[in-house]
Amino acid sequence: MNLVWSRIYDVILKSLMSVDHHITQGIKKMPHKNICFELLGFDILLDTDMKPWLMEVNLSPSLATESPLDLKIKS
């Protein structure tokens, strides 16, 4: 399972790296750079070989934990 999470982290990091310039430019326009954050939700699909695929990135992810799996992942 650690290998799967490692692969998921890799997909997330590569996604963030691909938009780094846009994020950096947005931060430069903010008056209070040190007191802000953005919460992102990554929808990842695992295929039959447990390879992760990025489905979408959400700017306003749900933090509801409606199942034990939700609670485990989101905490």
pLDDT at 71: 87
pTM reported for the whole predicted model: 0.73
Going from the C-alpha of 60 to that of each of 11, 39, 49, 50, the distances in angstroms are 19, 7, 29, 26
pLDDT at 56: 95
Assigned token pair, 7 = 């692969």
75 versus 68: which is more confidently predicted? 68
Going from the C-alpha of 5 to that of each of 35, 57, 58, 69, the distances in angstroms are 29, 17, 19, 14
pLDDT digits (tens, 9 = 90+) for 38-64: 889 999 999 999 999 999 999 878 888
**How many whole angstroms separate alpha carbon 22 and alpha carbon 26?**
6
**Residue 21 — very low, low, confident or very high, per pLDDT cuts 50/70/90?**
very high
pLDDT at 27: 83
